[in-house]
Amino acid sequence: MTRWIASIALLAALAGPSMAVADAVRLKDLGRFLGWRDNALVGYGLVTGLAGSGDSPRSAVTKQALSNVLGRLGSNVPPDLLESRNVAAVIVTSTLPPTAKVGDRIDVTATSIGDARSLAGGVLLMTPLLAADQKPYALAQGPLVVGGYNFQDNGNLRQKNYPTTGICVGGATVEAPVDAQLVGAGGNLTFVLNDPDFTTAERVSEALNRALGAGRASAKGADSVSIDAGSAGSDLNHLVAQVENVTVDPDQVARVVINERSGTVVAGGNVRISSVVIAQGDIKVAVDVDHQASQPLILGGIAPDVRSLIVTNSKLKVADGSHDAVVRFPDTTVGDLVKALAKAQVDTRRTIAVLQAMKAAGALHAEIIVQ
Q: pLDDT for 233-250, tens place per residue?
A: 568 888 899 999 999 998
Are 156 and 185 contacting, i.e. CB atoms less than 8 angstroms apart? Answer: no
Kindly indicate the confidence band of residue 340, based on its pLDDT and cuts at 50, 70 and 90.
Answer: confident
How high is the pLDDT of residue 149? 66
Mean pLDDT over residues 27-39, rounded?
A: 91
How high is the pLDDT of residue 298? 58
Q: Is 144 exposed, middle or buried (0-12, 13-18, 19+ CB in 10 A)?
A: buried
List pLDDT tens digits, range 114-158: 999 889 889 999 999 999 999 999 999 999 998 776 666 666 666
Out of 27-41, 57-71, 138-152, 190-204, which region has the weakest mean confidence (pLDDT)?
Answer: 138-152
Mean pLDDT over residues 209-232, rounded?
A: 87
How high is the pLDDT of residue 246? 92
> Is the confidence at residue 290, as pLDDT, over 70?
no
Provide the mean pLDDT of the chain. Answer: 80
> Is the confidence at residue 253, as pLDDT, over 50?
yes
> Is the confidence at residue 8, as pLDDT, over 80?
no
Mean pLDDT over residues 281-293, rounded?
A: 60
> Is the confidence at residue 15, as pLDDT, over 60?
no
> Is the confidence at residue 275, as pLDDT, over 70?
yes
Instruction: Return the top range by mean pLDDT from 64-78, 107-121, 335-349.
Output: 107-121
Query: What is the share, in percent, of the chain residues with pLDDT greater than 70?
Result: 73
How high is the pLDDT of residue 229? 84
Name which residue leads in pLDDT, 95 or 23: 95
Q: What angle do CA 81, 84, 86 make, to 5 degrees?
A: 155
How high is the pLDDT of residue 369? 82
**Residue 344 per-residue DSSP state:** T
Number of C-beta neighbours around residue 317 at 10 A: 9
Mean pLDDT over residues 307-332, rounded?
A: 62
Mean pLDDT over residues 182-189, rounded?
A: 84
Global pTM value: 0.67
Out of 21-35, 159-173, 264-278, which region has the weakest mean confidence (pLDDT)?
Answer: 264-278
Are 127 and 138 contacting, i.e. CB atoms less than 8 angstroms apart? Answer: no
Cα separation, 204 vs 224, in Å, equals 9
Name which residue leads in pLDDT, 154 or 262: 262
Spatial neighbors of 188 by CB under 8 A, at least 6 apart, are 226, 227, 228, 229, 230
Mean pLDDT over residues 332-350, rounded?
A: 75
Kindly indicate the confidence band of residue 317, based on its pLDDT and cuts at 50, 70 and 90.
Answer: low
Cα separation, 123 vs 29, in Å, equals 39
Cα separation, 26 vs 244, in Å, equals 6
Out of 50-64, 125-139, 197-211, 315-329, which region has the weakest mean confidence (pLDDT)?
Answer: 315-329
> Is the confidence at residue 11, as pLDDT, over 60?
no
Long-range contacts formed by 81-85: CB under 8 A, 24+ apart? 82/57, 83/57, 84/54, 85/50, 85/52, 85/53, 85/54, 85/55, 85/56, 85/57
> Is the confidence at residue 327, as pLDDT, over 90?
no
> Is the confidence at residue 41, as pLDDT, over 90?
yes
Spatial neighbors of 81 by CB under 8 A, at least 6 apart, are none
> Is the confidence at residue 311, as pLDDT, over 90?
no
Kindly indicate the confidence band of residue 279, based on its pLDDT and cuts at 50, 70 and 90.
Answer: low
Kindly indicate the confidence band of residue 299, based on its pLDDT and cuts at 50, 70 and 90.
Answer: low
How high is the pLDDT of residue 169? 92
